[in-house]
Structures are given as C-alpha cells and as structure tokens.
Structure 1
Amino acid sequence: MGKNTVFKTREGKNDVIKHYDLFLEKRALSYEKFYVDTVYGKTFIIASGEKGNPPLILLHGSGMNSVMWLRDIQEYSRNYRVYAVDILGEPGKSDENRPSLNGPYYAEWLKAVFDDLSLKKANIVGISLGAWLAIKFSVNYPEKVSKLVLLCPSGVGKQKKSFIFKAMFYALLGEKGIDKLYYKVNGNQPIPEAMLKYQKLIGKNFNYRRETIPIFSDNELKLLTMPITLFVGAKDIMLYSDKTVRRLGGLLPHVETNIISEAGHSNINDVNKIIACFTIEKCKRSELA
C-alpha cells in the first residue's frame, strides 16, 4: 500500500471503512459527504445543517474518525453548518499521508480545507489530538477562528507516562483487558457496544502514531486571543487535567475552564454543555478541587 500506509493491511482498512459506512447508514441524520483536495491529500468531510448557518468544524481524536461525532452532529446542526473532518493519517476516509506534527503542515492542511469550503471564519471543537490541531491552526491563523472549544487537549500539558504501561499491561490480558482499558479511558463509564467493537476493530488494524505530540510554548498559547472554552475530565488517565487547566487558565485569563468530575478522556464531549458555550456569553467557570 506504499510508505504512507497507516493501516496494517488493505483488508483491515476495508473492514474499518465498511463499518464507518454502516454507522452513517444507521444514523437518522440528514448529511452530505464529500472530499476536498489539498496539497497534503484528499480530505473526507461529513457536512450537516443549513448552509447559511454559522460554520462549526469538528476535529476527532487520534485512532478515531468522524464516526465519534455522529450523535453530536444531530444537535449541532440545528443551529450550525457542521463540518466533521477526518484528520489525515488517522483511521478514517481521508488520505493516509501523515505529515510530522512538528512544523506547520497540519495547520496548512486545515487552512486548505477552510479555503476549499470558502470559510472565512469558523467555530472549532476539537478533542485530544483534534484539540491539539485546533490550537495549532488557531496559533497560525487566528483570524480564521471565531471560538475555540477544547476537549481534553493534547499539547498543553504532558501525557501521563503511566498510561503507556497501563495500556501494555491490559493488552497482555487479551480481549477482556482491552475492554477494561477502553472502559478506563472512558472515565470508568460504559461504552455503547457498537462503538466498543469499532474501537477494537480499529485497534486491530491501525498503526497508531508513535510521534510525541508537541507541547505548545507559552508564546504560542498567548496568541490565542479568541474566546476559548476548555473541558477536561477529572478521571482522564492519559493527560494531567489539573495541569492543563492551570497552565491554560494561567496564560489566558479569558479561557473558561470546566472540569467534568465523572468524565475520562474519551467521554468529555457533552453536547449540551458545548452548545451552551456558543449560545451564552460565558460558560460557568469550574474551580479546581
């Protein structure tokens, strides 16, 4: 499949994409699906909502694709023109090209997506790696971002080194161990069976990134002058939520911070709370415990 392959086999890729399409078919959602061309590769997008509504970009996390947003899109599209973008080099329908996270490449790629969609400015919601990309883009093209919502963002605080050892330990326990790992990543909350099976299918067939996600400098983060809302999970086993809140809140006093007590890393996207951030002037600022 070439040097840019991120799937282990062509058959595995086809299986992941087949189930992607099944998720779309089963969801009672009015949507369009299309590709846009960029210098870094073709990019797959799911669009929903009236074209005259304010634009909202959704950026998923690593090891996933826009399937994770399908439930949320139904709510967002009531008031926004939603674009769920499959990130390059992840297990979705965009090209498998995986530029380095160091350098301007991913920001330039997303700028090309904005240009193809004729978006002068948009709101962005990103989770984990998608939140890192949202910050990266906003640092490089702040004039393009109306408001930024960051869900458990990478690149603000360091990743917990203990997570790698926990992942290795649970992998040794077989399928039950993998189930337990996903359960813990989800803040010890149940995962819908169909989504759990899909995550395991991706894990079986996808080559995860080995590149360390870069940490943004203070000077970079200080360029984020647009309205920002941060959500982190108190039970996040991958990132230090308290340090993320303290650092971003300390550098940017205008950031509204929210610590969700029962959330982990992957179940932070509470659609109603996020929608409230767009529809009221200020979100309630949570205090660190």
Structure 2
Amino acid sequence: MSIYKSQDGKIASIKLYDAQLQKLGYLFSDKYVTTSFGKIHLIETGNMKGKPLLVFHGGNSTTAYNLLMYKFLLKDFHVYAIDTIGHPGKSDEVCLSSNNYDYGKWASEVITAIGYDKISCFGVSFGGGILAKLMCIAPEKIEKAVLVVPAGINNALPISSVKMLIPLIKYVVTKKEKYLKETALYMALSEIVLDEDTLDTIKDSFDNVKTKVGMPSNIMRKLLRNYKTPTLVMAAEKDCLFPAKRVLSRAKTIIPNCKVHMLKGCGHMHIMPQYEKKMIVDFLIDS
C-alpha cells in the first residue's frame, strides 16, 4: 500500500525532494542498500574526509529538507542521510510499527549495509525516536549520539497537539495558505521559522502524503543498561510534541553518559543559533 495519496502526489513529493537537494550547494550521491525490511535510499554528502555521521530525518518529512535545516553538519562530517522506510523519499514504502523496536532493528541493519561496525548518529524528531530505539537494540553500533527534539524519550500526551486539527481541517477544505501557516505555528511558534522550504515541506506532507500521526513510543529504561555511548539530547522548551521539561528530565534519568540542553523559547520547529550548532559539532568531533 502506497504511503502517498496518489501517484501524482508521489511524483510531486519526489520533485520537491530533488529540488531541495539541489539547494544544498554540496556534491552528493544517491545510494541504495538492502535490509530485511526493504530497499533503502540514502544521500551521501558533506565532507568526504570528515568523520562519518548517520542522519535520521523527521517524520512525514524528507531527508532533503532535513539536510537543508541542518546544513551546518556538511562542513565537518561525511554524512549518510537516510530516507526513513515508509516515509516520504525514495526508500521502500514499507511501514514499520512505531510502538515496538522494529525501527531500531532497521537502523542497525542500515549501519551494517553502509559498511560500518560503528558510527556516530544524529536524529531529529521522529528520527530521534529511531535513534533512541537503536540505542536499545544495538548500542555497540553507536559511536556518539545526538538527538534533537526527539520522540521516544518522554512524549507529550496526544491531546497537546489536538488544537492543530482545526486549522488543518480548514486547510484541507480550502487549501488556503493562511490555514497552513496557522497549523504550522503550533509547532513553530513564530512565522520567522516558516521559510519557503519549511512551508513547501509541510504543504507536501498534507497534500500528497498519508500523514502518520503515531510517533516512536517511549523507550524502556531496562533496555539501556548496556548503553554507555556519549549522548547529547537537545529538546525545545515550548515543544508541543516533546517538551524539554519532560524529555530532558527523563533523558538524564534513563540514559547513561548523557548531556542535555534546552532550546530556550523554542517550539518543535525552530531556528538553531550558531552557538548551539557549534555545541553539536564539538560534541561529535571531540574524542
């Protein structure tokens, strides 16, 4: 069963994906690897002499958009940016359960398939939830881990995002951009965050993709007992999905060797200032 609403919707979504990749300003190559879950597409880009970094994007979004938002990683790291299976992009349209640890098993297989025994990992939102599942399933395969506004640590109750439904329904009915922005503002808080690429990606998700509501479920503490990897968790103070107060307190409790940082005043979608970008780069590079 397709993850897209129509064949035309799939074509439009892939067209946006390719257009956003061209905006990177970096050479990149398309790669395909095989896992037991299906064929996986990834973008290899960045600094080919840099430290390898496996990157997981947010849900109902794409790795092309994620690379634009975290483009600063490309200067220092040899990036493998994965199209999450069952989400928009060029990997197989096979949907995994977000309530078990299949995403962790899948991510573990991806690491092996791209030729590594161990690699540093970076995950955003849904991708942070995938990384959290991987921490439980194959801790030995993670060299360092950075999770930004992550699912899977201490998710907010679904009722916290119910308010988004009213403007979303208005957008679905009218297709007026003002309702698209109203919906996005529950996650972004400020229109400054809603640049062209962000709005294009949100519009693509609502227009062309069968949106997935479920996020990776919270991981169990007992499954992290063998996880000793240096980890940085960054959560947004005003995130309606994964609020920092909930996420950071539990991260400190359940994840050994964990540093935490609050993105103050930010919603789930945000613009990261330079000093926080540097914090990520320094954490991943420092031995």
Q: TM-score, normalised by structure 2?
A: 0.88
Q: Secondary structure at the match of 2:97?
A: coil
Q: Does 1:215 align with 2:218?
A: yes
Alignment of 1:109-148 (within 5 A): 109-148=106-145
Selected match of 2:281 from 259, 266, 275: 275
> What residue in structure 1 maps to residue 182 of structure 2?
180
> What residue in structure 2 maps to residue 57 of structure 1?
54
**In 2: Cα distance, 1:104 partner to 1:57 partner:** 19
Unmatched tracts of structure 1, length 5 or more: 282-289
CA 1:248–1:198 in 2, change beyond 3 Å: closer, same or farther? closer
Report if aligned partners of 1:233, 1:268 keep a CA contact under 8 Å in 2. Answer: no
> What residue in structure 2 maps to residue 205 of structure 1?
208
> What residue in structure 2 maps to residue 240 of structure 1?
243
> What residue in structure 2 maps to residue 153 of structure 1?
150
Q: Does 1:98 align with 2:104?
A: no
- Report the residue type matching 2:66 in the other structure: W
Structure with bigger helix share is 2
**In 1: Cα distance, 2:49 partner to 2:246 partner:** 39
1:6 shift after superposition: 0.9
Structure 1 residue ranges, 4+ long, deviating more than 6 angstroms after superposition: none
- Report the residue type matching 1:181 in the other structure: T
**In 2: Cα distance, 1:253 partner to 1:27 partner:** 35
C-alpha deviations, 1:156-205, integer Å up to 9, x for none? 11323333321212224433222122123124252112331232122111
CA 1:51–1:29 in 2, change beyond 3 Å: closer, same or farther? closer
After superposition, the CA RMSD in angstroms is 2.1
Report if aligned partners of 1:129, 1:154 keep a CA contact under 8 Å in 2. Answer: yes
**In 2: Cα distance, 1:103 partner to 1:18 partner:** 32
1:266 shift after superposition: 2.4
> What residue in structure 1 maps to residue 66 of structure 2?
69
- Report the residue type matching 1:126 in the other structure: G
1:93 shift after superposition: 1.3
Report if aligned partners of 1:62, 1:130 keep a CA contact under 8 Å in 2. Answer: yes
C-alpha deviations, 1:66-123, integer Å up to 9, x for none? 1223336653233321111010011111111012234442222222221221111111
Structure 1, 240-249 or 161-170: larger mean CA deviation: 161-170
Unmatched tracts of structure 2, length 5 or more: none
Structure 1, 265-274 or 248-257: larger mean CA deviation: 265-274
Give the fraction of aligned pairs with identical amino acids, expressed as a percent: 24
**In 2: Cα distance, 1:172 partner to 1:105 partner:** 32
Report if aligned partners of 2:85, 2:91 keep a CA contact under 8 Å in 1. Answer: yes
